[in-house]
A = this chain, B = another copy of it.
Amino acid sequence: MQPRKTTIHDIAIRLSLSASTVSRALNNSPRISLKTREKVRNAAAELNYKPNHLAMNLRKGKGTTIGVIVPRLNRHFFSHAISGIESVINPTNYNLMICQTNEDYETEVKGLQSFVNHRLDGIIMSIATGTKKTGHIEYVVKEGIPLVLFDRMMGKISVDQVFNDNFAGSYDMTKHLIEQGYRKIIYFSGPLHLELYTDRYNGYRKALADSSIGFENEWLFTDVLTQSRGEEVAKILIKSDNIPDAIFAASDFSALGALLVFKNAGYAIPGQIGIAGFANEPFTGLISPAMTTLEQYSEELGRSAARMLIERMEFTTGLGAPNFVVVKPKLIVRGSTLRVPAGKERNEELISETV
């Protein structure tokens, strides 16, 4: 345990130079002779000098840390998005500070505030489902801190955003279900105050309408995103003897809950009921029947978000119009909705690599 870390002053004293010369030498200023620069570098190495980023950032008025706020780290979608962000950020001088909100509004506000206090240079965030107000985000934007919103978009705010074409993905999935002969298609939605979920819902409705299938209000269940909620609703459906042709869930997890309950209750999937999710979580390829879902290209979303943020931070002067990147999800058809002749197992060949 060293009593004090070495500073540029220590180097300066050692070499009988001034601190400013040392600073310039370490920053390769052309005003310092090559010989001196060399000497300073050697002395710095000998004394095990490590620059104090706090002091640097304070003086420069800017740092090198980017904050990332996600609802949950243990979601395939988000952890891969973070990998994407890292792949762009790591080669730069920036560092990543990650915070998870557990889908909670208060935690989100607190995390964002902490980022502002720490004078982070940029923020990439995905809004919690519990968030209904946007004041905290607008505040950050007003403060002039570059911000990119990601996955959970927010049409009202004028800020860079990266997200999936949820409408299109949902539309494609619904069309697929219809093609497979399903008609009465129940929909498990997330909270409809999030555009993400209204878009998905609207895609579903549009596909039904385009196929002249009359939607009925009781087909919609909101706030069904978790496995346990999926199980609950599935049990309700069974109990009320109100068995749909298919269930399309805006979340793989609630789709999983439903799938397990129906399977356990003896229903043939996809024969009697088809089940589809959204996100292509790894488990969807492992269960049986393997689940039809939508791939969201999370790493690519993360990379785009990071690229946009760096663009904002380094090249854009002032605000300028917000940019948008939209990625279309890909339909992944698996056994849970594919009505093939007999009970032919086909999930193995569709296993997705998890590691």
Contact = CB atoms under 8 A, between A and B. Distances in A.
Interface residues of A, number: 60
Nearest to A254: B355
Nearest to A117: B53
A57 interface: yes
A293 to B, nearest CB: 14
Interface of A: 1-2, 5, 50-55, 57-58, 63, 65, 72-74, 76, 79-80, 82-83, 86, 90, 95-100, 102, 107, 114, 116-119, 142-144, 225-228, 253, 256, 260, 263-264, 282-283, 286-288, 318-319, 348, 351, 353-355
A83 B71 CA distance: 12
A354 B263 CA distance: 18
B355 A53 contact: no
A95 B118 contact: yes
A72 B114 CA distance: 25
- Which 7 pairs from chain A and chain B are nearest by CB? A74-B79, A1-B144, A226-B355, A98-B98, A73-B79, A54-B58, A227-B355
A99 B97 CA distance: 8
A117 B51 contact: yes
Nearest to A67: B97
A54 B63 contact: yes
Nearest to A118: B53
A142 to B, nearest CB: 7
A52 to B, nearest CB: 7
A1 B118 contact: no
Given A1-B319, A52-B58, 20 more contacts: A2-B142, A5-B143, A50-B116, A51-B117, A54-B63, A58-B58, A73-B79, A73-B82, A73-B83, A79-B79, A83-B102, A86-B100, A95-B99, A225-B355, A227-B354, A260-B351, A282-B283, A283-B283, A283-B354, A286-B287
Contacts of A226: 355
Contact of A2 (B54, B86, B144, B286): B144
A52 B60 CA distance: 13
A98 B54 CA distance: 18
Contacts of A260: 348, 351
B54 A118 contact: yes
Nearest to A116: B50
A169 to B, nearest CB: 21
13 contacts: A1-B144, A2-B143, A52-B119, A73-B83, A86-B100, A95-B97, A95-B118, A97-B97, A227-B354, A228-B353, A256-B354, A283-B283, A288-B288
Contacts of A82: 73, 100
Given A73-B73, A118-B95, A226-B355, A348 B287 contact: no
A80 B52 CA distance: 32
A185 B124 CA distance: 48
A318 B54 contact: no
B142 A1 contact: yes
Contacts of A90: 107
A253 B114 contact: no
Contacts of A286: 256, 283, 286-287
Nearest to A60: B54
A107 B86 CA distance: 11
Nearest to A257: B355
